[in-house]
Chain A
Amino acid sequence: MTAAELTYRLALRAYPPGYRRARGHEILSTLADMQGDARRPSLRQTGALVKAGVCERGRAVTGGDRAGIWAEGCALAALVLLLLAATGAAFQLGWDIWYARLGMGWPLGGFSPVPLEPAGLVRVLAAALLPWGAALAVCRGRRLLPLAMALTAAALYVGGAVGFAGTGGYQSWSAGQSWMENAYQLGTAIFLAAPAGLLWVAGRGRRRPAAHRSLAWLALPAALTILHLASYWETTIVFWPLGAIMLAWFLAGRWSPHLAVAVFGVAVPVLAFVLPTAVGAPDYEYAVAVAAGAATLAFASLASALAFAPETELDPPAL
């Protein structure tokens, strides 16, 4: 096998497996004809192959029409947000249980031990596991069930049933506190309500079955969680690999509109979530950033969809 053939075979993997089985041999044959006597793979051919493959994947998932692009783009954005929420929740749960069991303070500062009675533990467990369950349900093509799960988890934070281990001990939502003191709980609730909103859009007026996604989507957050709990990594640092993946999606979004909708839908609240915590901003800045992120989300998604709207030849797949 020549270097060119190997390169094109690898690039062909950008296409969905079914498409590759049906057309792969034909495309490789045409590429061999186009290649002629040249030994080195053409960058132009390779790039075009990857681009067409990503587009084909997009079409296979969305059906290629505007409604499908929006539905699947929003579902994808919701999935990523849920996975981020799930990762954060698992980190928090790990710390909470660890320090409650040992009855010792937070290692990074003079934090109080986390009091957890059995009923509280059930609530904390529910809040931590619901985002994982919701993400799993999205992967299985469900829309309403994960919406309900995300909203339930959000309600647990806003309802004061669960909270965070923070500088003042275990802090849960309290109506008696100022909104600034409730900022973390409010921020988390918004972080969970955003995917619920996206799932509502994804499930609305659905004309084709929702796409199923590989459970491998859960693998990265799960691995990060285990790594984090095992290594005492600073929480905000472990979010950056996810950021890198989102950057890759942004690049892919240039070719596949539904990915672009997803990326914009995700990137803004993620930046709002990560940046203030990374620079150690006070609570109110965090809350303002999350609120601004949520407000920008709708605008950015819309702008992204409009930017890709001139794709007049975006039609359903032929085969």
Chain B
Amino acid sequence: MQTMREPTYFTLAALLDGPLHGYAIAKHAEAVSDGRVRLTAGTLYSALDRLLGQGLITVDGEEVVEGRARRYYRLTASGRRALQAEAARLAGAAAVVVSRISATPEPAA
């Protein structure tokens, strides 16, 4: 399993609560990453294309609202598993530090 880039990770994370369209995914990703992941339309759609190709997300429906095209994307079962695996990997990586950082002395400046 390859490690995910941050935009990919937060794009998938945005879809945990249910299907979203492109703009909503970008807003959601920005919110849950504390503003770190500010997706542009170019990177967002590149990520969505890649995730569609990998079968991690799927198109859930389309509509046109006030002349604007909205396509909704939904997490697939394998997308959910991939996200879970990545979250576990990140948690494991964090645990390595978190469990030991307080037990080790701070080096002299």
Contact = CB atoms under 8 A, between A and B. Distances in A.
Interface of A: 23, 25-27, 29-34, 44-45, 47-53, 55-56, 312-313, 315-319
Nearest to A54: B42
Given A313-B8, A315-B54, A319-B52, A27 B41 contact: yes
B52 A48 contact: no
B5 interface: yes
A25 B3 CA distance: 32
Given A45-B42, A48-B41, A52-B43, A30 B23 contact: yes
Interface residues of B, number: 26
Given A26-B69, A33-B23, A34-B26, A49 B41 contact: yes
B71 interface: yes
A45 B45 contact: no
B52 A318 contact: yes
Nearest to B40: A48
Given A33-B23, A55-B46, A315 B69 contact: no
Given A32-B68, A33-B68, A52-B42, A312 B52 contact: no
B50 A315 contact: yes
A98 B71 CA distance: 63
A49 B43 CA distance: 8
Given A32-B68, A49-B40, A312-B2, A27 B53 contact: no
B53 A31 contact: no
Interface class of chain B by DSSP? helix
B42 A313 contact: no
A25 to B, nearest CB: 4
B50 A25 contact: no
Nearest to A53: B42
B19 interface: no
Interface in B75-99: none
A44 B51 CA distance: 23
B5 A31 contact: no
B44 interface: yes
Nearest to B50: A315
A42 B69 CA distance: 21
A48 B26 CA distance: 14
A56 B48 CA distance: 13
Contacts of A34: 23, 26, 40-41
Contacts of B41: 27, 30-31, 34, 45, 48-49
Nearest to B44: A30
Nearest to A316: B53
Contacts of B68: 29, 32-33
Contacts of B54: 315
Contact of A318 (B5, B21, B53): B53
Given A45-B42, A49-B40, A318 B49 contact: yes
Question: Which residue, of B8, B21, B22, B45, has the highest number of chain A Cβ atoms within 10 A?
Answer: B45
